[in-house]
Structure 1
């Protein structure tokens, strides 16, 4: 998880620089919450824990860096690729896994690779845990049910 800590520093700096008040609080809660859930659930599906933690941390990065959610999955994936490549800490295959999951995470109505599906599930769960009365469409609801099934294995 040493590489995760390096990426975490960059995210901390960006949140401190660009976000204030509720936006900063929401950024810390959501990015680190999704990352923590990705770590926990990666164990159940036997995916690389560190890659999962990093994809969770960076999945909405552009929302807080650019202060807009417009096209955020695509923009976050581009920012993640640049950050990971410039860190010189990751193999190209690892970068591709993280970037692809981030790019796919907003498309809840389509099934993608295991890493993308884990990120989608953890993204939905973090929202659900902080607002259990939130109304989800059938695609989001499917991820809440999937998480419950994983815990009950």
Structure 2
């Protein structure tokens, strides 16, 4: 089993155990959608698809499992190192940095952080097309759906 599949199994098991009802549904749908969008964007930008998928899958994990959005990106980036034993230090740094920065939609960061930010905004829009996005979110969405803004 590859690393992504192993971590995906971990994700599903723990979301199943720690989330309930509509919160579980949101955790699963949003995380899978962001993961898939990250993989697509990684292909387009010639980035590592496996790392992008993991980043997308786990970017809100702590928010869902601890039921708090307070600094969830930073908290998740610190926590995730505990399950990345199969990864090289540079890969861990990419994953942790992207997750830590994903809520800072107004800043431009490294390529992995940027695809996560874009995928997160796209997934939010697809889940709720009448969502009111921040100015930064609207700018990110406009890159992909210019006719919608």
Question: TM-score scaled by structure 1?
Answer: 0.91
| 2:123 is the alignment partner of 1:139 | no
Q: Which residues in structure 2 correspond to 1:37-116 (within 5 Å)?
A: 37-84=37-84, 88-116=85-113
1:93 and 1:11 map into 2 onto residues whose CA distance is 22
Task: State the Cα deviation string for residues 20-75 of structure 1 (Å, max 9, x = none).
Answer: 10000000001111001111111111111000000001100101221111110111
1:137 and 1:27 map into 2 onto residues whose CA distance is 21
Task: State the Cα deviation string for residues 124-153 of structure 1 (Å, max 9, x = none).
Answer: 00000111111112100111122348xxxx
Per-residue deviation at 1:92?
A: 0.5
Corresponding residue to 2:123 among 113, 122, 126:
126
1:32 and 1:115 map into 2 onto residues whose CA distance is 17
Partner in structure 1 of residue 27 of structure 2: 27
Question: TM-score scaled by structure 2?
Answer: 0.93
Partner in structure 1 of residue 8 of structure 2: 8
Report the RMSD for the aligned CA atoms in angstroms.
1.3
Alignment coverage as a number of residue pairs: 146
